[in-house]
Structure 1
Amino acid sequence: MIDLHEFLDKMNPNQKINYDKILQKMIKNWQINNQRPKIMLHSCCAPCSTYTLEYLTKYADVTIYYANSNIHPRAEYQRREYVQQKFIHDFNQRTGNQVKFIAAPYQPQAYFENVRGLEKEPEGGKRCRACFTYRLDLVAAKAVELGFDYFGSTLTISPHKNSQVINSVGIEVQNFYATQYLPSDFKKNNGYHRSVEMCHEYDVYRQCYCGCIFAAKAQGINLPQIRQEALKFMAGKDGAREFPEIRFVYHDQEVLE
């Protein structure tokens, strides 16, 4: 598989990196060499996975890794996890793809430990970088454990997230694992606009805040109301029971976190 350093090392260290163009070059190399890599793709929510999956599944086999202990409250985490599973199920049925799903355990205390001292940072600041690092580290470790060629994230589709920061974090994380980081800027090429269209097409719930309690409070989000709405939404729902075919199986056993 291609290491993105093959492209980065040839560039002027002071120039802004176009990660979308690098991904396109990597995809071209896969096609030339008749490769269809396996990608472990972190997803924060179904909306961010919409266009991302539509794009990547043309060239690779993708498994979504839902690792988001930053999301608060727990009921909202569960709602987003369920919606993610339902979208994968619906997307596979509509397109004939076989995208798989794994969920990391919900461990909010681990998230709080990783952002300790950064609670008052503004949205998009050092706390976000620490959060990206925490989650991408989990994804890279899981990619190595399960033998994936690349790990990456859907986060770059959001116009509210800094793709330069996300990609630089991914490159740093790659240095500690025997897997390759997949560079991206999925908002490019009308990716974000397509994601909005797909949310309407698939009737996907779009949340009103990124997930963490700090950003929610800064935005004035009514978290008790969010919790009540999420609990009502989840009544009688069980993604594992309803969508068993999307569970990732490794050596004839389902991966359980």
Structure 2
Amino acid sequence: MNYREIFEETLALARERKPTLLLHSCCAVCSSYVISLVADAFDTTVLYYNPNIFPEAEYIKRKNEQIRIIDEIYHGGVKYLDFDYDHGEFLAAATGLETAPEGGARCEKCFHLRLKKTADTADALGFDYFCTTLTVSPHKDAEAINAIGNGLSDESSAKWLFSDFKKKDGYLRSTELARKYS
């Protein structure tokens, strides 16, 4: 399935009515490019929820960088939301998978944890769509991420926004933007 093509079709339709989007962000670097793709078509709110990051000081550093990037680039045109840090949520989700290799079952549990929180939040706050920046990384499985997100949309009033943001040099663009704004 060509998730980038599906994304671009949805984006074209979104420009006609500017629906709301809750965009889960894994980090400021990845989100910089993704936000630039969606902000003109969607009323965008970035959700920073990443209990997998440890220690808490690193989480706070990354969260503050996310806020700075949004403020510096979008000057209030993109909203921001986060939750209190709770690494225990990740540890509970990853129980029994502590030695699983990168890219395996532990990653899928972590994707599910973060996307479930995003879907539940989108549903509770009345968003039209939800999505994640995770697919911009060449190290993340877009197929698995889209399957999880689409499955969670069955339990939510918000629709999953299919994506594969790494396509069309997405990862390269995100690193270029990160350098520009660092």
**Is the aligned partner of 1:175 residue 2:175?**
no
* Structure-2 separation of matches of 1:109 and 1:141: 19
**Is the aligned partner of 1:22 residue 2:6?**
yes
RMSD in angstroms over aligned alpha carbons? 1.0
**Is the aligned partner of 1:197 residue 2:176?**
yes
| 1:66 shift after superposition | 0.5
**Equivalent residue in structure 2 for 1:50, among 18, 21, 32:** 32
**Equivalent residue in structure 2 for 1:115, among 94, 118, 121:** 94
**Is the aligned partner of 1:41 residue 2:23?**
yes
Contact 2:14 2:42 in 1 (8 A): no
Kindly name which structure, 1 or 2, has the bigger radius of gyration based on alpha carbons. Answer: 1
* Structure-1 separation of matches of 2:111 and 2:49: 11
Contact 2:146 2:163 in 1 (8 A): yes
Equivalent positions of 1:96-115 (< 5 A) are 98-115=77-94
**Is the aligned partner of 1:70 residue 2:52?**
yes
Contact 2:128 2:157 in 1 (8 A): no
**Equivalent residue in structure 1 for 2:144, among 165, 170, 190:** 165
| 1:177 shift after superposition | 1.3
Q: Which residue of 1 aligns with 2:106?
A: 127
**Equivalent residue in structure 2 for 1:82, among 64, 67, 79:** 64
| 1:146 shift after superposition | 1.1
Q: Which 5+ residue runs of structure 2 have no aligned equivalent?
A: none
What letter matches 2:128 in structure 1? D
Q: Which 5+ residue runs of structure 1 have no aligned equivalent?
A: 1-16, 204-257
**SS of structure 2 residue aligned to 1:134:** helix
**SS of structure 2 residue aligned to 1:68:** coil
Map Cα deviations across residues 117-173 of structure 1 (whole Å, 9 max, x no partner): 111110000000000001100001111111110011000001111111111110111
* Structure-1 separation of matches of 2:130 and 2:14: 16
Q: Which residue of 2 aligns with 1:235?
A: none
Map Cα deviations across residues 184-242 of structure 1 (whole Å, 9 max, x no partner): 01111111111111011101xxxxxxxxxxxxxxxxxxxxxxxxxxxxxxxxxxxxxxx
**SS of structure 1 residue aligned to 2:17:** coil
Please list every run of at least 4 consecutive aligned residues from structure 1 whose deviation after the TM superposition is greater than 3 angstroms: none
Contact 2:30 2:175 in 1 (8 A): no
Map Cα deviations across residues 42-88 of structure 1 (whole Å, 9 max, x no partner): 00110010110111112111100001111001100000000000000
* Structure-2 separation of matches of 1:197 and 1:116: 36
Percent identity for Structure 1 against Structure 2: 40
**Is the aligned partner of 1:187 residue 2:169?**
no
